[in-house]
Chains A and B, each alone.
Chain A
Amino acid sequence: MRHIYLDHNATSPLDPAVLDAMRPHLLAAGNAESRHAFGRSARRAVDAARASVASILNADPSEVVFTSGGTEADNLAIFGLAEVGDGPRHVVVSPLEHPAVDAAIDRLQLFRFAVDRPKVGLDGVADPESMVAAMTSKTCLAALMLANNETGAIQPVAKLASLAAAKGVPVHCDAAQAVGRIEVDFRALGVATLAASAHKFQGPAGVGLLLVRRGVRLDPWIVGGGQQRGVRPGTMPVGLIVGLARALEIRHERLIEQAQRWRSLRDRLETLIRARLGTDRVVRHGPTDEALRLPQTLNLAFPGVDGDALLMQLDVAEVAASLGSACASGSTRPSPTLVAMGVPRMLLRSSVRFSLGPEANQDLIDDAGRRIADAVDHVSKFDPDSAAALAST
């Protein structure tokens, strides 16, 4: 039986073409700071990658800072914008954020920052008006992700940024799940900083980026040599940076066509599962408006079914999916995103996220739909708790 990998929001396997682009740099010696031929060649590769990334995301090359990944980029932005040294202030953040942002915000609380997380609706979309309403004269930062990792809900980041600008509050945007999947225009979003991670768009793990709008001064978090103008020192991983850029280029070349394909496959998967199980045994989380949905993320709850048991059964059936953020997997806490959305308690532990990659096709999705429906049936039948819960609904 073939493996079906539907966990691309956790990590998306490296594109072989990306690895080809990385290969010469992985084999080479050369520190981009060195001035001999090896160093200059590394520097050229980094500069080309920077220019390419900037052009795709509509930023200036000087606004691109390479990091070790999305988490570091989020941390750099949040601590850099919050300027902890200036004393405790106030931040406004959506309750939907990835742990990378959330944990950094929690850390600010240790520095006695006040934090507001205005409520969101059941569709999992933040309300910019209420975020701005929560701002005070001491607000130094707002954070809103571009697309939610669990539900795929696309957030009104541009709206928030323009409202916040009127109050002089910079906005940080975690775009880890959006970059490479939908059009991301840094200039149009109007945010101060934007984070992305290569391994979410079929680039290598271990590299990400932070876009920092010109004029925004970030306090560096890692202190060291002068690399990347001191904002993010450390020897630049040339091969990884080249891989990030190549992966983004490839995704960007096919962005619109791939999104259309994904939408149709994602909907096909949902339709198949509903058809097999009966539509009352399936609840979909997230917005209904297509414009607010990531094209390849599907988060379904199966009322009465224990999500953990279902995942185990899916693993037996060679289908990889997840309960939510991989970063929080293994924890017994229900998904904070679903909790923030006000999802009924009985559905919290019955929800599974399916996230598609570019390899998905009709055949794979039909196969996945069958296996998922079988697994749900299997777990409902053999789990007495599930069966009882189901009977009581």
Chain B
Amino acid sequence: MTSAPIYLDNHATTRPDPRVLEAMWPYFTTIYGNAASASHRFGWEASEAVEKAREQVAALLGAEDPREIIFTSGASEANNLALKGGLPSLRRKGNHVITSAVEHKSVLGALRRLGQEGWEVTVVPVDEFGQVRVEAVEAAMTERTVLVSVMAANNEVGTINPLGAIGALCRDRGVVLHSDATQAVGKVPLSVVSDGVGLLALTAHKFYGPKGIGALYARRGEPRARLTAQIDGGGHERGLRGGTLAVPLIVGLGAACEIARREGLAEAARVACLRDRLHAGIASRVDTIRLNGHPTERLAGNLNLSFGYVDGEALMMSMREIAVSSGSACTSANPEPSHVLTAMGLDEDLARASLRFGVGRFNTEGEIDAAVEVVATAVARLRAHSAAYGGGVATSVHGERFDEAVQ
């Protein structure tokens, strides 16, 4: 390969920030030690570094107490710990859980399993933008409801959910709000306190930290889910998560949080400009496209488009110069159409015609302009072979479903 493709898949994973790696490096090389080794300074140094990172994570989330942060191997584990580990303590209050149709598989999967254990799970639909409506959550609530699980921002269409409103509703009802904030942390301002979130899962590699480390925020105040460990052993993390702490990774997560806390707002503005440039560029060159997701309440880096008369998979595979995704990476080997897009009301054809662009910290204007060119060329090439596509005129029934036509 002559040059690396342009990376526009920052929802799948991000390239670690060099400053994050720099912070981690000493813990890979000179400062070793098991943070649980209480008897020598190697252990103490490791333990100090871990506690500093815990404070950095707490600060980014607006948590009141660093002890509310539990390190895990990532968001899948954090979501499992929150739900399978948190719900049993709420059982005496009720057995009803509310979630949304667009959650990540680690949430839906854990809840499906709990469903087999006598938990009643209501899956509320989302609106056409993929947003969970607070009214829908309220309508689903019963006296038996103990927990609501709603993602902070969607991984496919980037739609940001009204966590604050849902959190206020939950607080009024004494219900715990769990949020898979994997895509939102470091990208949009979050405050677990003012948003009323009781459990929140995150992973470092989605915001320029290392892979293999994440965290669960678990509120110590009421309403509170008291966690049971899902991985037992050794009493690490106050007995809530066994296993030797991966000190360099934890330091990396802390550093990523610190950078996001300082630069997140400015970065979101810059990334949104690039994303809009990408959108405008594609729209000026390609007709019959449709924006999936919320027009405004959307992650700065997210652009999810359906291209009329084109199969998203084929389009993705035909563009070797850019790295994008035709769905979430976790399920990209899965031929099923995206459960997120179908939940938003897209039919299978439209869902299959979609492509997810994830603009991130390291993208440049030049890359965006180059990507526009690649997309325009590839779509034109594929459409040239399409019998249904009538030379740029959306004549078929298929075409009428695209609400965003040529400017």
Q: Which residues in A have some Cβ–Cβ distance to B below 8 Å?
A: 3, 5, 7, 10-11, 13-14, 16, 19, 26-31, 33-39, 67-72, 74-75, 85, 98-104, 106-107, 197, 199, 204-207, 221-227, 233-240, 308, 311-312, 314-315, 319-323, 325-331
CA distance A34 to B232 in the complex (A): 32
Residue interface bits B9-30, CB-to-A below 8 A is 1, else 0 = 1101111100001000000110
Would A99 and B235 be within 8 Å (CB), given that A38-B5, A39-B12, A205-B248 are in contact?
yes
The answer to whether A315 and B39 have CB atoms under 8 Å apart is yes
Contact partner of B323 (CB less than 8 A), chosen from A5, A36, A74, A102, is A36
Contact of B34 among A27, A221, A326 (CB under 8 A): A326
| Chain B contacts for A98, CB-based, 8 A | 233-234
| A311 and B39 contact, CB distance less than 8 A | yes
B34 CB contacts on chain A under 8 angstroms: 7, 10-11, 326
Given A29-B14, A222-B77, A320-B37, verify A72-B21 contact (CB < 8 Å): no
CB nearest neighbor in B for A66:
B212
Q: Are B212 and A206 in contact (CB under 8 A)?
A: yes
20 additional A-B residue pairs with CB within 8 Å, beyond A39-B9, A67-B73: A7-B42, A27-B15, A29-B14, A33-B12, A35-B332, A35-B333, A39-B323, A39-B329, A68-B212, A75-B230, A75-B231, A222-B80, A223-B106, A233-B106, A233-B330, A234-B75, A312-B39, A315-B41, A325-B234, A326-B244
Contact of B40 among A7, A31, A74 (CB under 8 A): A7
Q: Is B198 an interface residue (CB 8 A)?
A: no
Taking CB atoms, residues of chain B closer than 8 Å to A14 are: 28-29, 32
Name which residue of chain A comes closest to B211, CB basis.
Answer: A237
* Count of residues in B whose CB is under 8 Å from the partner chain: 78
User: Is A199's CB under 8 angstroms from B37's CB?
Assistant: no
Please state if B334 and A226 are interface contacts (CB–CB under 8 Å). Answer: yes
In the complex, the answer to whether B330 meets A226 with C-beta atoms within 8 Å is yes
Bound Cα distance from A207 to B210, whole angstroms: 13
Known A5-B42, A330-B38; contact A223-B77, beta-carbon cutoff 8 A: no
Distance (whole angstroms) from the CB of B26 to the closest CB of chain A: 11
A-B contact count (CB 8 A): 273
Q: Which residues of B, 42-92, contact A by the 8 Å Cβ criterion? A: 42-43, 72-77, 79-80, 84
Contact (A36, B243) CB under 8 Å given A222-B76, A223-B113, A314-B40: no
Given contacts A16-B29, A75-B231, A103-B233, is CB(A239)–CB(B211) below 8 Å? yes
B107 shortest CB reach to chain A, Å: 9
- Looking at the complex, which one of B110, B234, B248 makes contact with A100 (CB distance below 8 Å)? B234
A222, B230: Cβ atoms under 8 Å? Answer: yes
Task: Find the A residue at minimum CB distance from B12.
Answer: A31
The answer to whether B37 and A10 have CB atoms under 8 Å apart is: yes
Whether A326 pairs with B36 at a CB distance below 8 angstroms is: yes
> Which residue of A36, A207, A323 is within 8 Å of B324 (Cβ)?
A36
